[in-house]
């Protein structure tokens, strides 16, 4: 087979020095194959393209309102919380896990910060620090169950999602802490609701925080030994173990870091929402998973860039804003996001085949 292909090439006068192996199974490289290869090397290209195309399409359909600096900065603000949660979610998914408790950790930590600062009278900076520590502990608890008790992440975080949510209701009696109360006693909690205005845009501190979280996480995952180990564990845990990586320790730290990022999201969420609301973000865990998958991170672990999750969150935001401005009923927005997920994971599966 390869012989004939080779002979054919030779006959056609093609000069290929190093293509023999590539040609072993496929005699002709189609455009599609090339695309597949490029995407396999750079999985973030797909979400970037989808984001650019959707911005262009909605810009045309919805007109100037969509393209206004104000609207674009508003989309950033609206996705900022889901975006930060998606950052936490992405490192878990890179280890081939999943974390259903991210939003519950976030809401719990926002409630803890609020209760400490407002009801107990702890100075606001200390309340924030304590809630960040709480995030590490909550994430660490997930990690403990996953690594020590060897329970599947899905089950562990399904459990802790319920546990943390119940604690939220117990602490608050399902009652919000009002915006006016926070303003009066602990305005620091709403720090990330401030914004920088320029040229009609309003970049909230929360939006900037989201970008910074992603940049920091990208750096750590790609430029440090810890980050490479995280990818290695996600790609093939046994192989990583054989290579001398202490995989359980890496996994535990990943869950703790995710919990910490959730606690950062908690602080940002108070600025975004205004009040501390136990009923908000109930399904934000699923939205964060949506952003991660649309961002081209593989659910089988070890592959995909965290920056993809940022684009994934932005794509969802652009779709929602665009469809609303056109005047499409909410249920069709839900419909569209559903298709986005399936198409995104479909593309991911297709890209994976290149290595098969």
Partner 1 sequence: MKKLIATSAIALLASTSFAAAEVGACLVTKTDTNPFFVKMKEGATAEAEKLGIKLSTFAGKIDGDVETQISAVESCIAAGAKGILITPSDSRALSPVVTQAREAGLIVIALDTPFEVPDTADVTFATDNFAAGELIGTWARKKLGAEAANAKIAMLDLNPSEISVDYQRNQGFLTGFGIDVKDPYDIGDEDDPRIVGNDVTNGNEEGGRTAMENLLQKDPSINLVYTINEPAAAGAYEALKAVGRENDVLIVSVDGGCPGVQNINDGVIGATSMQFPLLMAAKGVEAIKAWADSGERPTVSAGLDFYNTGVTLITNEPVDGVPSISADEGLGKCWG
Which contiguous run of DSSP H or E holds residue 196?
strand 195-198
Q: How far apart are CA 79 and CA 91, in angstroms?
A: 19
275 lies in the binding site for partner 1 (CB under 8 A): yes
48 lies in the binding site for partner 1 (CB under 8 A): no
Binding range to partner 1, per CB under 8 A, among 2-10, 248-256, 279-287, 345-353: 279-287
Least distance to partner 1 from the beta carbon of 179, Å? 6
Least distance to partner 1 from the beta carbon of 172, Å? 9
DSSP string, 246-288: -HHHHHHHHHHHHHHHHHHHHHHHHHHHSSB-TTTTTTHHHHH
202 lies in the binding site for partner 1 (CB under 8 A): yes
Q: How far apart are CA 298 and CA 46, in angstroms?
A: 13
Q: How far apart are CA 106 and CA 269, in angstroms?
A: 8
198 lies in the binding site for partner 1 (CB under 8 A): no
274 lies in the binding site for partner 1 (CB under 8 A): yes
If you count them, how many residues does the chain have?
356
27 lies in the binding site for partner 1 (CB under 8 A): no
Quick one: which of 105, 108, 102 has its CA closest to 170? 108
330, 342, 343, 354: residue in contact with partner 1 (rule CB under 8 A): 330
93 vs 177 by CB, closer to partner 1: 177
327 lies in the binding site for partner 1 (CB under 8 A): yes
277 lies in the binding site for partner 1 (CB under 8 A): yes
331 lies in the binding site for partner 1 (CB under 8 A): yes
DSSP string, 108-145: HHHHHHHIIIIII---HHHHHHHHHHHHHHHHHHHHHH
191, 236, 280, 352: residue in contact with partner 1 (rule CB under 8 A): 280
Least distance to partner 1 from the beta carbon of 341, Å? 18
74 lies in the binding site for partner 1 (CB under 8 A): yes
- Residues linked to residue 195 through DSSP beta bridges, in sequence order: 204
299 vs 341 by CB, closer to partner 1: 341
Say if residues 219 and 230 touch (Cβ distance below 8 Å).
no
Q: What are phi and psi of 303, to 5 degrees?
A: -140, 145
Contact set for partner 1, span 150-179 (CB under 8 A): 169, 173-176, 178-179
Say if residues 291 and 89 touch (Cβ distance below 8 Å).
yes
Q: 3-class DSSP state for residue 84?
A: helix
What's the longest Cα–Cα distance across the chain?
85
Q: 3-class DSSP state for residue 76?
A: helix
Q: How far apart are CA 206 and CA 190, in angstroms?
A: 10
72 vs 91 by CB, closer to partner 1: 72
Least distance to partner 1 from the beta carbon of 324, Å? 5
282 lies in the binding site for partner 1 (CB under 8 A): yes
54 lies in the binding site for partner 1 (CB under 8 A): no
321 lies in the binding site for partner 1 (CB under 8 A): yes
334 lies in the binding site for partner 1 (CB under 8 A): yes
Least distance to partner 1 from the beta carbon of 146, Å? 24
Q: How far apart are CA 222 and CA 227, in angstroms?
A: 6
13 lies in the binding site for partner 1 (CB under 8 A): no
116 vs 284 by CB, closer to partner 1: 284
279 lies in the binding site for partner 1 (CB under 8 A): yes
Quick one: which of 207, 211, 255, 250 has its CA closest to 92? 255
Q: What residue ranges bind partner 1 (CB under 8 A)?
A: 65, 71, 74, 78, 81, 169, 173-176, 178-180, 193, 202, 269, 272-275, 277, 279-282, 321, 324-325, 327, 329-331, 334
């Amino acid at each position: 087979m390869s012989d004939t292909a080779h002979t054919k090439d030779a006959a056609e006068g093609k000069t290929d020095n190093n293509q023999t192996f590539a040609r072993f199974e496929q005699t002709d490289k189609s455009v599609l194959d090339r695309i597949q290869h490029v995407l396999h090397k750079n999985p973030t290209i797909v979400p970037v393209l989808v984001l650019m195309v959707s911005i262009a399409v909605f810009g045309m359909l919805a007109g100037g309102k969509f393209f206004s600096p104000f609207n674009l900065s508003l989309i950033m603000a609206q996705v900022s919380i889901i975006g930060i949660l998606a950052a936490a979610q992405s490192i878990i998914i890179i280890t081939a896990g999943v974390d259903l408790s991210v939003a519950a950790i976030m809401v719990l930590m926002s409630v803890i910060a609020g209760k400490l600062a407002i009801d107990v009278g702890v100075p606001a900076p200390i309340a924030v620090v304590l809630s960040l520590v709480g995030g590490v502990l909550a994430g660490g608890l997930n990690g403990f169950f996953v690594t020590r008790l060897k329970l599947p992440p899905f089950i562990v975080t399904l459990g802790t999602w319920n546990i943390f949510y119940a604690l939220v209701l117990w602490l608050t009696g399902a009652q919000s802490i009002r915006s006016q109360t926070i303003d009066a006693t602990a305005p620091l909690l709403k720090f990330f609701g401030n914004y920088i205005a320029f040229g009609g845009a309003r970049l909230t501190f929360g939006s900037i925080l989201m970008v910074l979280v992603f940049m920091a996480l990208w750096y750590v995952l790609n430029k440090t030994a810890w980050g490479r180990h995280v990818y290695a564990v996600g790609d093939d845990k046994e192989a990583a173990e054989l290579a001398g990586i202490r995989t359980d320790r890496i996994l535990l730290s990943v869950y703790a870091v995710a919990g910490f990022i959730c606690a950062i999201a908690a602080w940002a969420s108070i600025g975004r929402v205004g009040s501390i609301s136990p009923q908000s973000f109930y399904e934000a865990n699923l939205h964060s998973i949506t952003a991660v998958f649309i961002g081209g991170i593989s659910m089988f672990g070890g592959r995909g860039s965290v920056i993809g999750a940022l684009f994934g969150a932005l794509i969802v935001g652009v779709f929602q804003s665009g469809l609303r401005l056109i005047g499409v009923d909410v249920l069709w927005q839900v419909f569209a996001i559903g298709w986005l997920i399936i198409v995104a994971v479909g593309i991911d599966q297709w890209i994976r085949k290149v290595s098969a």
